[in-house]
Amino acid sequence: MSHTVDRFRDFMDEPEPAGRDAQEPRGEIGKYKIVREVGRGGMAIVYEALDPDLKRRVALKALKPGEASPTLISRLRREATLAARLHHPNIVAIHEVGLFQDDRGAETHFIAMDFVEGKTLAEIPRSVPLRERMRILQTVAQAVGYAHTQGVIHRDLKPQNVLVEQATGRVFLTDFGLAHAQEDHDLTRSGVVIGTPHYMAPEQVTGVRHKMGPWTDVWALGVMLYEALTGRKPFRGSDPMELYQRIFVDEPTPPRKLNPAVHPDLETVCLKALEKEKDRRYADAALLAAELQRYLSDEPILTRPVSWRLRIWRKVRRNSTIAALGALLAIVLVAAGIWGNVQSSGRNRAEEEASKTRKLAAAMERITQLLAELDRLMVEPDVSYEQIEPRATEILASVEAAMRHAPKQANLWTYKGKALRYLGQETLAEAVLDEAIRLDPRDGRPSLEKAMILLDRIQMLTIGHSPDDARERRREAAEEWMPLLLENLRRADPGLTEDEKLLVSAWSAWCNRHYEEAETQATERIRRGGAVESFYFVRALARTTAGKAVEADLDRAIERRPGLWQARFLRGCLGDDPQEKLADFSAVVRINPRCAQAYSNRAIQYAARRQFEDALADFERALRIDPRDIVARLNRGDLYRQRGRTDAAIAEYSAVIGFFPEEPDAFYRRAIVHHALQHPAEALADLTEALKLAPNHAKAHVERGSVYMDLQRSSEALEDFDAALRIDPTNPHAYNNRGMLYHRLGQDERALADLDAALRIEPNMAKALNNRGTVVETMGRYSEALNDFSAAIRIDSTYVSPYANRARILSSQGRHAEALGDLEIALRLQPALAGIYVTRGIVYSAMERLEEALADYDEALRLDPRLAEASFNRGLVYLKRRRHAEAMADFKRAVELRPDLEAAAAPLIEQCREPE
């Protein structure tokens, strides 16, 4: 909290100086000379005074004039009598109890006692260390324990009644104003609530006198202990009624959930002091003092902690046996004296309440049982959704039923959220968990559940897909969720087991990008053995985010808990073996059939195996669950593109652009289709948009460079390839394309260097091999070229271009038959490629099979009338056949299409003009 607010609060909290009342005594009371007022309560004022006889300072507690009813006077006298019985170094000693009458006849009843210069426990600063506070409380407990041995119960223990002497640090217990002796029955009537509300024990709230005893003081000490440990009171309410209800019904939040620094032993002691049933508390304060002493001497305590299961069970049982609220209301009504004819209807209500609570307890039991079953299922090797679904559905039904009785019970909402998570209904689960958090913000469990959902989501977004698909978009989306995740992890602390806390801590480290820390924490826990599958998983995630190997961790996590689909998913994403990847994604959807990303990842695997129907079906499933699954859409678009369904591909990419107009990958991919369809203008527009959105999109630069190349805009193409390589110096496509650009510009040395670079990065790049073959071929290195083309064919036997290229060289070496064989394959692969017909035409004409050559050139020109090579070569055949006019027309046409052919064509045209 800010400085200003702290100071403001301090200022407002300062004790008010007393306003004077005309009737209040001044000057002196009896023989005592008043020095100053040191405090005042509802009925009495305390002064610092001087005892002139003994020349010492005393504290005078005087009843306010006008407040002095006979009851109060008796109480004051009793305090004195009781305190006078007590001789203990830590109990303020009483000197005198008296009555003073001033000259006007006004009476003042007072007690004179030791004056302690110092502060009350309520006033000592928060900065006082915990151990020191424990020392103070231990002393108080000891003093109270002593009083108990003397048969005195304090009944109003609170920090305001504990004084710490400034000079010595000695601790004094004071104010036995409400104390009573155990044998004393006169003064307090049953049914009257006395004491300070926050420190009241349940039996004190009910005002049932005979139930009060030393254990009542033990409770108050428990409250003080709780306050010292956590800085807050165990029970709070906006009005006394609510507070009483909470004291009666609520289990206090274990201190360690509020302050993890608290020693477990102190928590145990504190919670035992705060047991609702007096028999479960320490029988008297001395026992509590002894336990605190053990803690202070670093010895183990004797009390055993109570498990949370037992606590819940007790709570359920208590509710069912006493119908807590009904009974409490009755008691308070008795106290208020308005108990009347409502009594009988109250009893009915109590019975109703009890029956409700019984039903609730039964539902709870069933829910817990089902959750345990589900948990067991998750360690079965072949766990599947078919087994999960009926149980999770039944939990939902039980929760709904229980909610009819207790709509505001937070843990019911948490169970509902859990069940929905099992059913893969994450969004719904989130909303339900939010409600649980709202109903009981002190319970960390729903926050943890919610955090897990967010973690799954973030994990899917960040590493859950092939790394290049819409990476930015996914990273941004993941980061959008991050603060919410962190908030939930932060909130998740109370109510968790040690392991869950460790897990939360490791996850938080991961979220904060402290991967090393997350890894170390997980490793430490793994070393201790036990149920550590989740820790293997965290470690895997931390390691993979830090770029380390993780398979072994994932294997172990999955082996221990086959139902941990998140681990399978991650393994599927990170693994290399296509078969295993497929198996992992299949396992994920077997357990969680609503995991869209698993379907789209499996679809990608299917597509790679050319199981296109399966791939399309999985994409469809993914998109039915999440129509905005960007990766599914992009990849389905790619699949359409590969299958030649260009319209569908463009539609798919356009859909992505509709959802995410800032997604560069969608523009990029749509550009590829446009490029392939020879719509260079559209391709350029999309690529320029992609690069505006992602200026560092190396692939888009490469693609745009290729489009420019096609448009003969070499300098722009070169700029793009250079840009791509600046961004990503390991992009083989950029080298390959730039190499071809240099080749076209006649710079073959540079071309060769680029192609070599591409092949160093990607030795199996068939395209680069084919291109290098082409370059070295122009350099006259034919055997090298042959090797390159053959290598390209070995790598990708469906790649047409190297067949044609190899055929050309083979043919020039006179190996026409082999050449024709290559070309035949090429034409089978791609029957409508003009260039191949040209090449075959060349082979045929070399073989002097001129008719066949002519037919091939005709076919080539039919497929592509603008193919200069076809015209040129057909011209050569016509020339051979002495069909000069046709030859001349073809040469002229070729030069028209490609002016660089002029030099080669000019003498041939001349020849055509020569008379025979």
Partner 1 sequence: MTREETSIGNSRRDFPSTHWSMILDLRDPAHPTYRRHLDELVQGYWKPVYFYMRSAWRHSIEDAKDLTQDFFSLFLQKTWVQKLDPRRGSFRAYLKTALDHFLTDCRRAQRAQKRHPAAALLHFEQAEKEFARIEPKDRDASPADMFEREWIRTVVRRTLEVLEQSLTKQGKRRHFEIFQAYSGLDDSACESAPSTGVEEVARRFGLKADHVKYCLKVVRQELRRLLRDEVRSYVDGEEEVAREMRLIMRGE
| Residues designated as active site | 156
Considering only CA atoms, which of 634, 647, 565 is closest in space to residue 598? 565
Q: How far is the CB of 485 from partner 1 (least distance, A)?
A: 11
The single-letter code of the amino acid at 495 is G
For residues 181 and 486, which CB has a smaller minimum distance to partner 1 in the complex? Answer: 486
Q: How far is the CB of 116 from partner 1 (least distance, A)?
A: 22
**Residues from 210 through 239 that contact partner 1 (CB under 8 A):** 232, 236, 238
35 binds partner 1 (CB under 8 A): no
The single-letter code of the amino acid at 741 is L
Q: How far is the CB of 8 from partner 1 (least distance, A)?
A: 5
Q: Give me the residue label for tokens 């082409």.
A: 774
846 binds partner 1 (CB under 8 A): no
Q: How far is the CB of 268 from partner 1 (least distance, A)?
A: 27
**Residues from 642 through 671 that contact partner 1 (CB under 8 A):** 660-662
How far is it, in rounded angstroms, from Cα 656 to Cα 663? 8
Q: How far is the CB of 442 from partner 1 (least distance, A)?
A: 13
Q: Are the C-beta atoms of residues 221 and 159 closer than 8 Å to each other?
A: no
Backbone dihedral angles phi then psi of residue 118, each to the nearest 5 degrees: 170, -155
| x/- map, 304-343, partner 1, by CB under 8 A | ----------------------------------------
Q: How far is the CB of 247 from partner 1 (least distance, A)?
A: 17
Q: How far is the CB of 106 from partner 1 (least distance, A)?
A: 24
Choose the stretch contacting partner 1; rule: CB under 8 A; options: 12-20, 278-286, 305-313, 375-383: 12-20
As given in the structure block, the two tokens for residue 8 are 């403001």
Other CB atoms within 10 Å distance of the CB of residue 365: 13
For residues 48 and 499, which CB has a smaller minimum distance to partner 1 in the complex? Answer: 48
| x/- map, 169-208, partner 1, by CB under 8 A | ----------------------------------------
For residues 488 and 592, which CB has a smaller minimum distance to partner 1 in the complex? Answer: 488
For residues 429 and 853, which CB has a smaller minimum distance to partner 1 in the complex? Answer: 429
**H-helix segments, 29-92:** 70-85
19 binds partner 1 (CB under 8 A): yes
Considering only CA atoms, which of 61, 83, 86, 60 is closest in space to residue 72? 61
Q: Are the C-beta atoms of residues 432 and 413 closer than 8 Å to each other?
A: yes
Q: How far is the CB of 236 from partner 1 (least distance, A)?
A: 7
Q: Give me the residue label for tokens 């070729």.
A: 894
How far is it, in rounded angstroms, from Cα 801 to Cα 813? 19
| DSSP 8-state secondary structure symbol assigned to residue 91 | B
17 binds partner 1 (CB under 8 A): yes
Choose the stretch contacting partner 1; rule: CB under 8 A; options: 284-292, 327-335, 473-481, 681-689: 473-481
How far is it, in rounded angstroms, from Cα 842 to Cα 832? 17
12 binds partner 1 (CB under 8 A): yes
For residues 114 and 487, which CB has a smaller minimum distance to partner 1 in the complex? Answer: 487
472 binds partner 1 (CB under 8 A): no
| x/- map, 427-466, partner 1, by CB under 8 A | ----------------------------------------
How far is it, in rounded angstroms, from Cα 285 to Cα 287? 5
Other CB atoms within 10 Å distance of the CB of residue 862: 12
For residues 235 and 872, which CB has a smaller minimum distance to partner 1 in the complex? Answer: 235
Considering only CA atoms, which of 201, 209, 84, 211 is closest in space to residue 150? 84
**Bridge partners (DSSP) listed for residue 29:** 32
Q: What is the CA radius of gyration of the chain?
A: 44
How far is it, in rounded angstroms, from Cα 622 to Cα 229? 51
The CA-CA-CA angle for residues 248, 249, 251, to 5°, reads: 110
The single-letter code of the amino acid at 87 is H
How far is it, in rounded angstroms, from Cα 903 to Cα 270? 102
As given in the structure block, the two tokens for residue 430 are 């989130």
22 binds partner 1 (CB under 8 A): no
- Calculate the alpha carbon distances from 520 to 506, 515, 516 in Å: 9, 9, 6
21 binds partner 1 (CB under 8 A): no
54 binds partner 1 (CB under 8 A): no
Is 549 buried (19+), middle (13-18) or exposed (0-12) by CB count in 10 A?
exposed
How far is it, in rounded angstroms, from Cα 847 to Cα 506? 75
How far is it, in rounded angstroms, from Cα 731 to Cα 165? 78
Q: Are the C-beta atoms of residues 724 and 734 closer than 8 Å to each other?
A: yes
Q: How far is the CB of 258 from partner 1 (least distance, A)?
A: 14
The single-letter code of the amino acid at 184 is D
| x/- map, 488-527, partner 1, by CB under 8 A | --xx------------------------------------
| Side-by-side strand order, sheet with 162-165 | 118-120, 162-165, 171-173
Is 70 buried (19+), middle (13-18) or exposed (0-12) by CB count in 10 A?
exposed
Choose the stretch contacting partner 1; rule: CB under 8 A; options: 3-11, 64-72, 190-198, 520-528: 3-11
For residues 473 and 525, which CB has a smaller minimum distance to partner 1 in the complex? Answer: 473
For residues 100 and 660, which CB has a smaller minimum distance to partner 1 in the complex? Answer: 660
Considering only CA atoms, which of 219, 201, 220, 198 is closest in space to residue 209? 201
The CA-CA-CA angle for residues 869, 872, 878, to 5°, reads: 140
Cα 147 versus chain centre, distance: 53
How many of the chain's residues bind partner 1 (CB under 8 A)? 32
The CA-CA-CA angle for residues 540, 545, 550, to 5°, reads: 30
Choose the stretch contacting partner 1; rule: CB under 8 A; options: 340-348, 470-478, 493-501, 561-569: 470-478
For residues 404 and 475, which CB has a smaller minimum distance to partner 1 in the complex? Answer: 475
For residues 35 and 327, which CB has a smaller minimum distance to partner 1 in the complex? Answer: 35
Q: How far is the CB of 19 from partner 1 (least distance, A)?
A: 8
For residues 198 and 772, which CB has a smaller minimum distance to partner 1 in the complex? Answer: 198
Q: How far is the CB of 47 from partner 1 (least distance, A)?
A: 15
Q: How far is the CB of 588 from partner 1 (least distance, A)?
A: 26
**Residues from 476 through 495 that contact partner 1 (CB under 8 A):** 476-477, 479-480, 482-483, 486-487, 490-491
4 binds partner 1 (CB under 8 A): yes
Q: Give the SS3 label for residue 637.
A: helix
As given in the structure block, the two tokens for residue 802 are 């190297």
For residues 233 and 359, which CB has a smaller minimum distance to partner 1 in the complex? Answer: 233
CA torsion through residues 536, 538, 540, 546, sign: negative
How far is it, in rounded angstroms, from Cα 776 to Cα 764? 18
For residues 155 and 450, which CB has a smaller minimum distance to partner 1 in the complex? Answer: 450
**Residues from 684 through 723 that contact partner 1 (CB under 8 A):** none
Q: How far is the CB of 513 from partner 1 (least distance, A)?
A: 11
11 binds partner 1 (CB under 8 A): yes
> What is the maximal distance between C-alpha atoms in the chain?
160
Choose the stretch contacting partner 1; rule: CB under 8 A; options: 69-77, 312-320, 472-480, 553-561: 472-480
**Where does this chain bind partner 1 (CB under 8 A)?**
1-5, 7-9, 11-14, 16-17, 19, 232, 236, 238, 473, 476-477, 479-480, 482-483, 486-487, 490-491, 660-662
